[in-house]
Structures are given as C-alpha cells and as structure tokens.
A and B are shown apart, each in its own frame.
Chain A
C-alpha cells in the first residue's frame, strides 16, 4: 500500500470537491483545445495579454485609491496629497495606477498596430477588430477622465481645453460640451461627472467589451498572418501558452514597480480656476498627436476654423479604423494588401513626428 502524505490527499480531495461543484473540466478542455500558432511574429501576440494585465492592475489600484479620494474641487487635491504623504503605501498605489495607465495605453496601441500589420482583422475576426478599436477609445477615455481628478493646475486647464475642442464638432458639439462639463465651465459639476465616468461608467463598459473580445478570441483562435506557413508546431493555449503569458506578466510587473520606484508620480499645485493659466499646458503623451495637429493646421481655412477641420479629420480617421476589416477587400480574400500596410507605416511616422515636435517646440 502506498502511504500518501496527508496534504497530497487533502489537495486531491479538494480538487474533486471543487470539480464536482463547478464542473470546470469542459472550460479547461476548451482552453487546452485552442492552439496558438508559432512563427516569426508570434512575439506580438503577447501584447493583448499584457493590455489585459495592466487593466487588472488599474482595477485593483483604482479601488484602493477610491478609499481615500474625494471628488470635490475643495478636497480633491488635498485627498491625493493625503494618499501620497500619509496613507501607508499610498505613494506606491498612486504611482502604480498612473504608470500602469500609461503602460496600458501604450500596449493597447502596440497591440492595435501589430494586429493591423498582421491583418488579423480579416474574416472571421472583423468583430474582434471592431471591439478592439472600441477598447482603444475606452482606454483613451480613461486617460482623459482620470487626468482631472487630482485637480491640479495643469490638469485643470488641459481639461478646460480638451472639453472645449468638441464644441466645433458640427451639429452635436455644443451638446457634447455641456454633457461633459455639466455646465459652462470646468467646476464641481464637471469633476463629479468625469469622476463618475472614470470609476463607474467606463469600467463597466470596458469590462463588457473586454469579455466580448476575449470570448471571440476563444471562439476563433489566433490568426496566422497571410503567407506565413507555421514552421513550428502550434502549442495549446492551456497550459503552454498561458505559461508564456505569465512570464510576460511577471516582466511587466517588474517594469511597473521599477518605474514607480525610480519615478514616483508627482502632484502639482491645487488648481485655481480664477487665476491665469500657467505657461506650458500640454496634454498627456497619448493626446500629443492631436495637440500637435491642432497647432499645425492654420487657424482658419476658407472660413472654417481649425478645430472643426481637425474634428472632422479625427472622425474620418476613427471611422477608417473601425471599418478597416470591411474596406480591406484583398485581405478578406487572403491576399496581402500592401496598401494597408503602407497606411499603417505612414500613421506610425506621423504619430512619432507629431509627438517629437510637440515635445521639442
């Protein structure tokens, strides 16, 4: 008779207990059945999972910040100071939330470009792409609404400008500005609104869209770029691929903590809505492309002001992004569409040049 240590026995019996009640086996079999192809671009598949990782960090640290944060113009800046200076590990929680937000947006953008260049949006994954574009808009929405919450001078005027730009959207502009601000100017009402968006409305919508995105990924499996013959054996998602994901997540965690320890996030002076705007108001890096575009376009072309022109261009670019799988007819027929690759390359160059110009001038 084999005598088994009691903890092994305990582990086995709890596994059976849980399996009898939750019936997880079909789910695990399903995950194991999904095969992840391996080829020279496989590395880029890691970024979707990394975006998910940073999103989870945002939820956890966001809930922690909520315990002390207070969303009124009189208390917001002070409550963030309390978190940073008095709450145990408060500075760390705040830095994690801020750095992870930046890394999440960066990974979502990388993920978007990599799936774009691999043309992973082609049939039958059109809705993965469309939901992905919505996720991009949602994470940018998180960045925009979260920025005002510490109520410091830069954030105050940057948000004033940011909520003024939609005013020149034809027809709907005025309506959108009032809805966002809850009034004519950025004040208590606006802070409460952006707060509600940041901590309740956007998270609920994002969770639903992420779930949709992940379920579709499970249904369709991972795509193989056009013309690539998978050289190596594909590996099952569970446990093999998940193990690679886990390594990437640990690397991301180390990077995240490193950034927080070396560059802890600072807080600026409390905003005074009745003082002149200081010099050097700039948005966060992910809005600098838009910012620089507004600076490049002349104040008025044929009587139309630059904000209207830029708004219309952004609308067209957004629609192009959403509709890419429907427009790219070649990729749909499994033919390499170099025109779309070139559009992507030009877009990357434009983004890099615009951001550099915004920093340098």
Chain B
C-alpha cells in the first residue's frame, strides 16, 4: 500500500464515520420533535365527571348540547322525565348531530347518518352507535360521568 492509498482509505473512513454519525444523531432529534408535537394527555386534564346543566334548563322532548371536557354531549329529557346523555359527535366523521323532535332521531347534516334515542346507528354511513354517558341528578344539577 502506498502512502497515497493509505491517505485515501483514511479519508474514506473518516467521511463514512462522519456520515454515519450524522445520520445516527438525526434520529433522536426527529423523535424528540415528533414527541414534542404530539398532544399530551396530561396537559388536557380530562375530568371523569362534570356538572353540565340544571335539570330545569331541559325541555321535555328536546335536546340540549352541553360541553363535557372538550366533547359535545346531547342531553335529552324523555316524556317520562328521564334524562339521557349521548355523545353528540357523529361516529362517521365527527360532525355535531341535530335532534329532530318530530321524528325522534339524531340526524347528522354532514352525510345523513341517523341515530335513535338509544344512540344506535340506524341509517347512513355511521359505523358505530353514539357513545353513552352516565347521568346523575343531585338537587336539580345534572352531573355527567364517563362510563
């Protein structure tokens, strides 16, 4: 091996080592950036149950949309006076559904999915029923919790 060959392989080695080192150190940086950008669950502080409305605010046979954490929930008071809470977020692509009292269905204006009073998906593209929530009434205050 001449001195020149040695010089070339040495340079080769150095440049390959440098390339390798740079590519390896890029990975943790990318990982850190993605982790940073992903929303953290802790910061959102999801409450298990919340006071959302007064029972007196609800009209029989009509629905009211309230805020539970960041989610929209439909409260519905039946003719028997029973209060039910269903997620108002359509399980198709996430529009807020509308209660149609004459037909007693939740209708989604985006692509026409419909749900019955139990939240079951009865027509349209929605793949799942509306998510139900637990309702407690204490001294006229409506408290909703996750099931």
A residues with CB within 8 A of B: 157, 160-161, 164-165, 175, 178-179, 181-185, 187, 189, 273-281, 295, 299-300, 305-307
Q: Which 6 A-B residue pairs are closest in the complex by CB-CB distance?
A: A276-B98, A277-B95, A164-B93, A161-B93, A299-B125, A279-B109
* Complexed CA–CA distance, A161 and B125 (Å): 13
Q: Is the interface of B mostly helix, strand, loop or mixed?
A: loop
From A157, A179, A181, A307, B110 is in contact (CB under 8 Å) with A157
With A161-B94, A183-B44, A185-B70 as contacts: A277 and B39 at CB distance below 8 Å = no
From B65, B71, B109, B110, A185 is in contact (CB under 8 Å) with B71
Is the Cβ of B108 less than 8 Å from the Cβ of A277? yes
B146 within 8 A of A: no
B24 within 8 A of A: no
With A273-B72, A277-B110, A299-B125 as contacts: A160 and B93 at CB distance below 8 Å = yes
With A157-B110, A299-B125, A306-B125 as contacts: A184 and B98 at CB distance below 8 Å = no
With A189-B39, A274-B67 as contacts: A160 and B109 at CB distance below 8 Å = no
Taking residues whose C-beta sits less than 8 angstroms from the other chain, chain B's interface range is 20 to 34
Task: List 24 A–B pairs whose Cβ atoms lie within 8 Å, in order of A's numbering.
Answer: A157-B96, A160-B93, A160-B95, A161-B110, A164-B93, A178-B38, A179-B34, A181-B39, A183-B39, A184-B71, A185-B71, A189-B39, A274-B66, A274-B96, A276-B65, A276-B88, A277-B96, A277-B108, A277-B109, A278-B109, A279-B109, A281-B110, A295-B111, A305-B127
B29 within 8 A of A: no
Is the Cβ of A276 less than 8 Å from the Cβ of B39? no
B147 within 8 A of A: no
B107 to chain A, nearest CB (A): 9
A108 to chain B, nearest CB (A): 27
A172 to chain B, nearest CB (A): 12
B103 to chain A, nearest CB (A): 14
Is the Cβ of B38 less than 8 Å from the Cβ of A179? yes
Q: Please name all residues of chain A whose beta carbon is closer than 8 Å to the beta carbon of B71 when the two chains form the complex.
A: 184-185
Is the Cβ of B98 less than 8 Å from the Cβ of A277? yes
* Complexed CA–CA distance, A141 and B94 (Å): 21
Task: Kindly name the residue among B66, B88, B90, B110 whose own CB sees the greatest number of chain A CB atoms within 10 A.
Answer: B110
Q: Which residues between 67 and 89 of chain B lie within 8 Å of chain A, taking CB atoms? A: 67, 70-72, 88-89
From B39, B96, B109, B110, A182 is in contact (CB under 8 Å) with B39
Sample of 8 more A-B contacts, CB < 8 Å, known A179-B34, A179-B37, A276-B97: A157-B95, A157-B110, A160-B94, A161-B110, A183-B39, A184-B70, A185-B89, A273-B72
